[in-house]
Structure 1
């Protein structure tokens, strides 16, 4: 009997040690350890919510010229009848109604091609939904329309803008569209292209000098989908 008890006692002690000691260790360790930032590092910068950049409204500029392509220079400073030209720049891409809506030229290219005449550039201040609607309508217009049959440059631009800005009145005169946008409160800021050229024309007007019609300095481009551009004849 003595020999049996001496054999079983160590077995019982070993069993208790194997069960009880791990339980005590688990109770002393928390289930989730607190976050420890890396030593010597910096925390990551806050990132904008997903899709914020894509959801930003497009930048829309309305560019109006008092002088048309074949007008004498003397007429630009005193223009008050429906002549001249209007183009719309959306996110740096120009939409200009020539024989139809021609798209794809960059703002820098268009500005260089029109350095022979002054322009007013109105940067519009619109809700994001209106700006996106205008971008969609002008994108759909590329390659459509017919000059005089569907309108001229200013009236065609006015009709597309009118889809999002219903209180605009369609006009053929660039200076009237320019004035409307300002009166309706749609303009964030206005600046000029080639102010010195306009001033030179104004001086010529005061002197009674007419001068020859300006020549085009660069071809007008049209985007041929998907993305190829060709120069108009």
Structure 2
């Protein structure tokens, strides 16, 4: 009882000194749930119907687990991809703050949102793998945002994270300003599988921040499948 009282007092003091703020606009909020009501309304959440495989939104769905024409015509190396938001002017503020401006505390809220949004589809995960970052880029940025998000998902899902499974051993240009064809060429051969690890028969969850053309997720999935993974799923905060 005494410890519980001390805990509540500490929480009250922390909230008084460092009150919770909206992850998007930084306005004060009543609780540390992530977003103020105004910013929450502006977020473009991905809702059903969406393609079962690539996760893109569909205008109409005739039946559950329907795939889009692109996924029907072209087999993807991953089993499915899921994202939380559409990448637009509102969600980009959150992504950029998390990715470039040291707002790593956002990972706790974003991981919880991803988990509760796709909880039923994450039950068979054996291993969580963040999309790798080249060691020099990580040195400049000081952290890999995908790894931090993966660590928060690890706490919630209670599954191990292995950041050494995939290695980015080739420096590549930023994918941001590249065309789809250029992205594929840019990422091809830049990621290697660590042969010291065995993933035969495992279901793996890839974690990244944004899905644009999907070239990075596809390259990682291809490597994991070719080295024995049974299923490869991917989850991102946003997608274009």
State TM-score, norm by structure 1.
0.26
Identify the structure with the greater strand proportion: 1
State TM-score, norm by structure 2.
0.25
Where relative contact order (Cα < 8 A, 6+ residues apart) is larger, the structure is 1
